[in-house]
Every structure is written in structure tokens, then in C-alpha cells.
Chain A
């Protein structure tokens, strides 16, 4: 049985099964991971840490590849910075 983990995405709680990547939590929250230089919304494309499109700020650290990180209780994810 998987337990649940709750993380904050742009200040709102999102609860996912443990072992879920941060990128998926962002998608479940209905958010884009980041905004491009041309102000376009971007989200996970390759899902394996190569394309850098899923970057988001995690616990205050900008440009984290969210597809390569697992959700941890209380994690703060921001896609709006």
C-alpha cells in the first residue's frame, strides 16, 4: 500500500501517492511548470531530465527539474516566479 504525500503547489495543497514526481504533482494541480522567455507556458516533455521544460522552484531553489524529484511531505513548489 502506498501512503499519500501532500505538497504545496503555488500555495495550494496537492495530495499524491508517495513515489510521485514533483512534475506530476504540478500537472495534477493544473499548472504549467514554468513560463518561457516568450511568456509561453511549459511543462514536462521528456520526463527523464533531458529537456529542462519541467523546471520549477522547489523549496526556494529555482530551476529544479521537477520530473527528477519525488514529492516529499511539506514540499513547496512554485511555478509562478
Chain B
């Protein structure tokens, strides 16, 4: 493919695509990013925007921690509109059983050098006075961050462009493979490699990828400065996020710099339309009020939906696609794409260039699914 116009072409200008473009460009490769809408228009704009360490699995922990460290390095370069706030996460334990999980989580994070603080009910009340009295305690993870994802994606894309990357927006991709991207107006882009970073829509371009849409809904309130200080997540969230079939809601709130409060979360499979679902919205808000009764008196200014790209084993797909040697995947990040965008970009470009990766890549390789089929 000596006639390729680009070293790489990336489909999707969400935060993952933008981070990949930035990383390719940083290493001197000439890349183009193609998106049918605009930078950060999909799940990037719809999500909450947390930089969190998660321990569902060792591989998830490794990628989230690595990525969080990359965000910490990037922090000083981020413009003000990214609203990077290291507010920390508090995992809220509703009862004694969940307090056991708090201790387990503390030990796990501690073994990997991630600082935490176990909170008894009194200390929790002091840190978050608007949480309901009945909570048993919690775990503070002080290095967790919230930010405003569309501006973070915009920053990464702009920096990529300053490093020579090109951006084509309003271009809908109908087909990728064999070193070319076909656009819906009949034009073609040739590149040595193609990165499918189309999030939940990735299977439309690479049939056979095991990704399904997992719909989520969020609410944002008017400004109530001081009401909430940390990101709060119920420990029961893990049960909710683990459920692989049914609809679920879990308490997850974030303070924004404006004093607004972002309220989540919900997860739905098989819901293809973008409409707000008032029944699941009601369940989500009732759940939130069980933890923070004061939320009930607040005004919501907006509610919306988005689609997470969910994989069967809850790990993203990062690396070569076995079906076409010119195609690489960077998708399947479910609810962690903002956090893991930077780590994804590093280990993807490491694979393309043959560089050594900072963390083991095997758990994220798209070929793992094929391997599991062989063993099944």
C-alpha cells in the first residue's frame, strides 16, 4: 500500500479517537480523523466524565490506573474549560455487608499503591452532610477526578491537529477495510491502517465485533454550590454494572464546577432509540433520593441519553482486528471511555509501532474473543 495518503485513519472523533490521533501525531505519524458529526458528539458528550480507578478485574484496574496517571501528567496542559476537578470518589456503603466491600477495596487499591481512606459513618457525614443518615460508611479515593468530556476531547483533537493530524467532520463512513475508508459521498481515504473508534457504532463498520449498545440516562440540576463535594457512587453500583441482561439503576452523582449536580446512572440493553425513558428515569431519581433526600427539592435543567459500547467481558477492544490486517479497534469502553482514552491511545499506538507497552495488552486484544470461541 505504497499509495496510502496517510499512515493512519481514525473513524470516530470521540475522546478515544481524539486521544489516538494525538498519540499517533506525537510519534510523528500522519493521521486523519473522520466523524459524521463533530468532535466528542457521541458517548463522549453524553457521559458523566470521570477519571476513576475501577477494580472489576485486574485488567480493568491496570488500564484505569495507567490512564489516570496519564491524565495527572496532562493536567497542567488542560485548558480551563475542561473543568478538571480532583474531587475524589466516595464509594458509599449502605450497610455492614457493603462495609466489608469497602475494606476489600481498600486492600486491593492499597496493594497497587492507590491511596484510599476508609470512612466511618461519622466521617462520611462530615464530608457529605447531605447524604442520608442511615449510611454505614464509605471509601474515599482522593485521586479520582471529574472533568467535562467534550472539551477534553476538543483539547486532544486540537493538539493532534497542531502536531499535523487532519480532521474531517460531517463525513459519514460506510465501509472500512484493506487500507481504505469509503465515505457515503463515494470518496475514499487510503491509509496504512484504519482505527475503528466508533464506540457503540463500531460493529456497523466491522461486523463481528462483540459490542452491544448499553443505553444510559443522565440528569443535570440547576446550580446548588456546596451541596455535594465528591463524586458519590453506591457500592451496589457494582451489582448494577455487572448485570449483563436486565435494566438497572444505581446511585452516582457528581459535583460540577458550576455547582450543578450530575445525577446517574442507568443501564439498559436492547434500547435502540435515543428518547428519554420516563420509567427508568423515575427509578434512577428515586434511587438517588434514597441516598440524598435533598435532591428531591432541586430543579433539573436537562435530561438526556447516550449509548455505551459494551463488551461481554467488560473490557475494551484495543489492538488489531483478526479479520483484516489493516484494521485496528479502539472501542468497547462501556462507561469508562473518558478515563481510559489516554491509556487506550498509548497501548494502541505502541502495538502499531511495535513499541513496548507499559501494561500487558493481552486482556484487551480483539483476538481474545476469537480465542474464547476456540476454547468453548
**Residues of A bordering B, CB below 8 Å:** 37, 55, 61-63
Contact = CB atoms under 8 A, between A and B. Distances in A.
B258 A61 contact: no
A78 B224 CA distance: 14
Contacts of B299: 63
B258 A63 contact: no
A62 B224 contact: yes
Interface string B241-280: 0000000000000000010000000000000000000000
Nearest to A64: B299
A30 B132 CA distance: 39
B297 interface: yes
B37 interface: no
B95 interface: no
A48 B299 CA distance: 17
Given A62-B222, A63-B223, A63-B299, 4 more contacts: A61-B297, A62-B223, A62-B224, A63-B222
Interface residues of B, number: 7
B222 A37 contact: no
A38 to B, nearest CB: 12
A12 B360 CA distance: 66
B219 to A, nearest CB: 15
B255 to A, nearest CB: 15
Contacts of A63: 222-224, 298-299
Interface string B120-152: 000000000000000000000000000000000
Task: Kindly name the residue among A37, A55, A62 whose own CB sees the greatest number of chain B CB atoms within 10 A.
Answer: A62
A37 to B, nearest CB: 7
A66 to B, nearest CB: 13
11 contacts: A37-B258, A55-B222, A61-B297, A62-B222, A62-B223, A62-B224, A63-B222, A63-B223, A63-B224, A63-B298, A63-B299
